[in-house]
Every structure is written in C-alpha cells, then in structure tokens.
Amino acid sequence: MKIAFFSTQLYDKEYFSRYNTSHELVFFEAQLNEQTVTLADSCTAVCAFVNDVLNAAVIKLLAGLGVKIVAMRCAGYNNVDLPAAQFHNIKVVRVPAYSPYAVAEHAVALILTLNRKTHKAYNRVREGNFSLEKLTGFDLNGKTVGVIGTGKIGQVFCHIMQGFGCRVLAFDLIANKELEARGIEFLPLTRLLPQCDIISLHCPLTDQTRHIINSDTFGLMKPGLMLINTSRGGLIDTRAAIHALKTGHLRYLGIDVYEQEEKLFFHNLSEEIIEDDDIMRLMSFPNVLITSHQGFFTDEALTQIAQITLQNINDFEAGMPLVNKIV
C-alpha cells in the first residue's frame, strides 16, 4: 500500500522506515491542508499528525483521490472531521497509547525545571555566575497536586507525584477505582482547583474541555499556583493565562502545547519574525517554560508510534478488525 506522510520530520522517516516491511512510504514535510492534499494522489492511505488539517473539505478531497484510510500517528484526533470521514467511507485509526511514561515524565520535568530553575542555573554557571540569588524553589513533598484527566498518561503522572510525597487530587468524568485505592481523591473541578499548589492537564481536547482553564477557573485557583499542560493547547485560554501571569495569580506556567502551535511548533523559525503576539508575550515572562510539543519524544514512544500505526494499516489492508479505529 502506498502511504502519504504529512508534517514529516527526520525522526518520522527514521522510525517508520525502520519498521516498515511491505508498504511504499512517501514523506512530505508539508502540513496536510486544502492546498497540499493533492500530494496524496495515488495513495491509499494518509498518515497525519496533530497539526494537520483534516476538515470536511480535506476529507472530501482525500476521498476523491482514492484515499481509504487516515492513520493518525498520535492519540489525539480533534483535528479530524469524523462525520465527514464516515460519510466518505474513510476509516480513521490512531495510536491510543504509545508511551504514557514519556508524556507524564515530561510534565514532571517541566515542574522540576520551573520549581528549581535548573535552566537558569545552567546558563548562569556557563557564564561564570555561581550566585544562588533568585533560584529559590520549594519542596514537592507535602504539596497538593491536581490532575485533570486520568487516562493512561494521567494515571502514570499520579503515581509519579505520589512518589514525591504529594497529596494527589483528580478530576475526570468517571473516577478510576485503582487510583482511588492508591489514595487519590476524585473531586468536582470546582472543589479541586482551590486546593492545589500544582495543576497538570492530561485530558483530551473536546468541545467540553476546550478552555477548561479560563478566567473563571483561574479565579477558583489559589494564588501562586503552578499550571502544567502537556496535553492539548486548546485546554487553556491563552489570554486568560497571560492575565493571570501579569497579576501574579499564576506564579508558574509550563506548557508543551499551545493553542496556535500549528504555525510554530516542529519548525525552525530562528531567522524569522514570529507574528504570534500571545506566544511572544508568554516567552517574555521569566516564570514561563515552553517546550515545542516534545513530551512524546522518546525512543520508546517513537518506536510504539511507528509499529502501531503500521499495524493499523496492515490490519486494514488485510481486512482484519481495526482495534484502534475511531470511525
């Protein structure tokens, strides 16, 4: 089967080529959208990523080109018009879990870096500055951590934070009995937010969760908290976060995702003018740490992504049940 890969990076070529045994792989650096969709001509499958555009118009054009399956090489699929795919009889599959440890551990890395300011200390020492001024952190032990979303990644994150000696609270539509048995308390969001020193987001982006962190929910949080987002950028209202940072209500912000990241992340823009005023404002705060959607970026995760994606396509080609089918 001929597969068109969009939004391709060097690591995509490396890992998919390593584990491919039977398909013809065609890699494009371009993002999938209405202008680039014709690149998939003569391909039966399209492999897309988090920032590719798979709206109704693109789905219709893919169907016209003869594409039969869209394989998302990620867990999220909020960028796919599922009713359009169903209407045009295009199957959509995903990688529901590659390495929950990768993302959960990156969330912890953001917490530790923001707290102990190791990024600032590193730069200081390289310049011959061994001062400890303004590098004060706090003990994680005994702090209350709120986890919004307790899927596979959220569960791993809960376990890690308990290992630090934190009190862990959680919010999800359905309480996880295993986590409850480990001493994690599930609460409504309005009761969880006021108690937390640290809040970490691990829920999918849906109509219900978009901007779940907004001016109203910031108002419920205790002053001086730390907010971490390694899930989807749209969970946070960026303008509300900027306001909370300016007033000092939000003391630390660590994000691996961003609302408008599709125009920024995974690209080298060091020689260009960045026109996104919101992210430039975020980058100006000394207590904000931004990484470029690298939470998934471990050898184990990349291996799982390639293997599961290719297996999804193999199963489709063989007419077998699609265990990771969305529609």
**What positions carry a catalytic annotation?**
232, 261, 293
Beta strands of the chain (E only): which ranges?
2-5, 24-27, 45-48, 69-72, 91-93, 144-148, 167-171, 185-186, 198-201, 225-229, 250-255, 288-290
- 287 to 65, 89, 125, 233, 295: CA distances (angstroms): 48, 48, 19, 18, 20
Proportion of the chain in helix, strand, coil states, percent, rounded to 5: 40, 15, 45
The answer to whether 154 touches 147, Cβ cutoff 8 Å, is yes
Q: What is the number of other CB atoms lying within 10 angstroms of the CB of residue 83?
A: 11
What does DSSP assign to residue 272?
A: S
Cα distance from N-terminal residue to C-terminal residue, the chain? 20
Give the span between the Cα atoms of 9 and 267, in whole angstroms. Answer: 9
The answer to whether 242 touches 281, Cβ cutoff 8 Å, is yes
**Long-range Cβ contact pairs of 287-290 (< 8 A, separation 24 or more):** 287/114, 287/245, 287/251, 287/252, 287/253, 288/245, 288/252, 288/253, 288/254, 288/255, 289/110, 289/113, 289/114, 289/119, 289/252, 289/253, 289/254, 289/255, 290/254, 290/255, 290/256, 290/258
